[in-house]
Chain A
Amino acid sequence: MINHQLDSFDVVSRCKKSKIPLWQCPTFLFVLMGLINIASCITSYFLGTKYVNDPLVVAIIVLMVAFILFIITYFVIRSLERLAQINEIKDEFIKIVSHQLRSPLTNLNWAIDFLISGDKKISDNEKAQYYQIIKENGTKLLKLFNTLLIIARIKEDEYQKEEESIDFTKLIIDEIQNHRAFAEASNIKIETDLGKAPVLLTANRYLIKTLIGSLLHNAIVYNKKGGNVKIEMKKGHKDILVGIRDQGLGIPMIYKKYIFHQFFRGASTFHEQTQGAGLGLYVSRLIVENRGGKIWFETEKDNGTTFYFSLPIK
């Protein structure tokens, strides 16, 4: 804890982390501008006392100099902070995405290497297992590419042009069906309460499917052993409310601010689940907000988390 506090004063290493020159580093500039501010105040005080007789005027001059320098410092640091943040995000992006791309690619390559290694002793059953590895990892790669494409293109009009009237209830049921084998393999049961009447929604089918799939996948992966996932849907006058509940460990409140950020993965989560790029909830947020809706969660320690989203009915 103390070490962590001391680390925050280590200007050089903090700047190195952002991988930008020292003169562009906000932490360094904060310290430098602070020193300039102090020096300017002292100088203006001495100059003021030398040339101005009224102490009140001297005080006003010093305060004005301090105020102007403070404003300049604020704007300079603010703009460079953004630069540093972008640099850090870029590095994190390269690190996580390259790892998440490399893993399935290695799985594919090595599986193919084994199959073509010319050994005739590979049984049909064993070959089938390798084909399954190739299929699973191909799907994993495709999913990651699609997620990255959504992030890059969500603001474009293309997705809105592809909006259509969709049976939202059926889409949820289909997505549950797509996750059924994965849930059963993880010993997780999926329950639903989707109401009786089908709900129609005008939206981009692919994006909504990605949204439901992502939240459902998380609810299975981060559930307790033998736990349940419950999907509820309520239709209001103006919007649709969906809740997807798991029975996992819950999300510590310290993560609340970051949970929908890109690449965020909680330390306790990462401890158990090493796979994942930390993009699922970020993409979910982008999809919901782009469609004019809201996304949030409620959580209880050791008692699970419910992710909710609401979408306006167009």
Chain B
Amino acid sequence: MKKILFIEDESALQKSLGDLLKREGYEIVSALDGESGLKLAKTVEPDLILLDLILPKIHGLRVLETLKSDDITKSIPVILLTNIEGSKEIERAIELGAKAYLVKANYSLGEVLEKIKGVIS
């Protein structure tokens, strides 16, 4: 079973997307802030990380930077899932090695699932 680490501070999104992914047969590990997300990424070593940008304690881009500079986590694919649509953020995320940058409001739950399947496969 493939493992997905979902770093997101909105519990409502954790629930809807988390429930859908569980139903699709993925194992979900959740973190509500950047700090615990980083810790879990090292201990759980997931197959994919879904990462929000606006997070308590450590900003999403900083989390991504740390993940990509650590030997244990640098090869884990990361999808940015955020409602920030700034070109600066998108450029920086791609530059740091994110596989995709999705603006949550522009995607349905089903479309996000398809993107995740595309990256994780």
Interface positions of A (Cβ within 8 A of B): 95, 98-99, 102-103, 105-107, 109-111, 113-114, 117, 119, 121, 126, 129-130, 133, 136-137, 271-275
Nearest opposing residue in chain B for A137, CB measure: B12
A and B contact pairs by CB, cutoff 8 A, 7 listed: A107-B13, A107-B16, A109-B108, A271-B57, A272-B56, A274-B9, A274-B56
Interface assignment of B96: CB less than 8 Å from any CB of chain A: no
Top 9 nearest A-B pairs (CB, nearest first) are A113-B109, A107-B12, A110-B16, A102-B105, A102-B83, A133-B12, A106-B104, A114-B16, A110-B109
Interface assignment of B10: CB less than 8 Å from any CB of chain A: yes
Q: Point out the residues of chain B lying under 8 angstroms from A113, CB to CB.
A: 16, 108-110
Q: Point out the residues of chain A lying under 8 angstroms from B109, CB to CB.
A: 109-110, 113-114, 117
Q: Point out the residues of chain B lying under 8 angstroms from A275, CB to CB.
A: 9
Q: Are B84 and A274 in contact (CB under 8 A)?
A: no
Question: Considering only CB atoms and an 8 Å cut-off, how many residues of chain B contact the other chain?
Answer: 24
Task: Evaluate whether A99 and B84 lie within 8 angstroms (CB atoms) in the complex, with A105-B105, A110-B109, A114-B20 already known.
Answer: yes
Q: How far is the CA of A87 from the CA of B15 in the complex (A)?
A: 38
Q: Are A103 and B10 in contact (CB under 8 A)?
A: yes
Q: Point out the residues of chain A lying under 8 angstroms from B15, CB to CB.
A: 111, 129-130, 133
Q: How far is the CA of A177 from the CA of B105 in the complex (A)?
A: 33
Q: Are A114 and B12 in contact (CB under 8 A)?
A: no
- Label chain A's interface by main secondary structure: helix
- Return the CB mask of B82-97 against A: 1 if under 8 Å, else 0: 0111100000000000
Q: Nearest-CB distance from A103 to chain B (Å)?
A: 6
Report which of A102, A129, A133, A137 forms a contact with B104, defined as CB distance below 8 A.
A102
Task: Evaluate whether A111 and B16 lie within 8 angstroms (CB atoms) in the complex, with A102-B104, A106-B83 already known.
Answer: yes
Q: How far is the CA of A136 from the CA of B13 in the complex (A)?
A: 13
Interface assignment of B54: CB less than 8 Å from any CB of chain A: yes
Task: Evaluate whether A99 and B12 lie within 8 angstroms (CB atoms) in the complex, with A114-B109, A117-B109 already known.
Answer: no
Q: Point out the residues of chain B lying under 8 angstroms from A105, CB to CB.
A: 105
Q: Point out the residues of chain B lying under 8 angstroms from A102, CB to CB.
A: 83, 103-105
Task: Evaluate whether A106 and B55 lie within 8 angstroms (CB atoms) in the complex, with A114-B19, A117-B110 already known.
Answer: no
Report which of B9, B13, B20, B54 forms a contact with A106, defined as CB distance below 8 A.
B13
Interface assignment of B116: CB less than 8 Å from any CB of chain A: no
Q: Are B56 and A117 in contact (CB under 8 A)?
A: no
Q: Point out the residues of chain A lying under 8 angstroms from B104, CB to CB.
A: 102, 106, 110
Q: Point out the residues of chain A lying under 8 angstroms from B108, CB to CB.
A: 109-110, 113
Q: Point out the residues of chain A lying under 8 angstroms from B54, CB to CB.
A: 99, 274
Q: Are A106 and B56 in contact (CB under 8 A)?
A: no
Nearest opposing residue in chain B for A126, CB measure: B19
Q: Nearest-CB distance from B103 to chain A (Å)?
A: 8
Nearest opposing residue in chain B for A108, CB measure: B12
Q: Point out the residues of chain B lying under 8 angstroms from A136, CB to CB.
A: 12
Q: How far is the CA of A121 from the CA of B109 in the complex (A)?
A: 18
Q: Nearest-CB distance from B120 to chain A (Å)?
A: 19
Q: Nearest-CB distance from B104 to chain A (Å)?
A: 4
Q: How far is the CA of A70 from the CA of B10 in the complex (A)?
A: 53
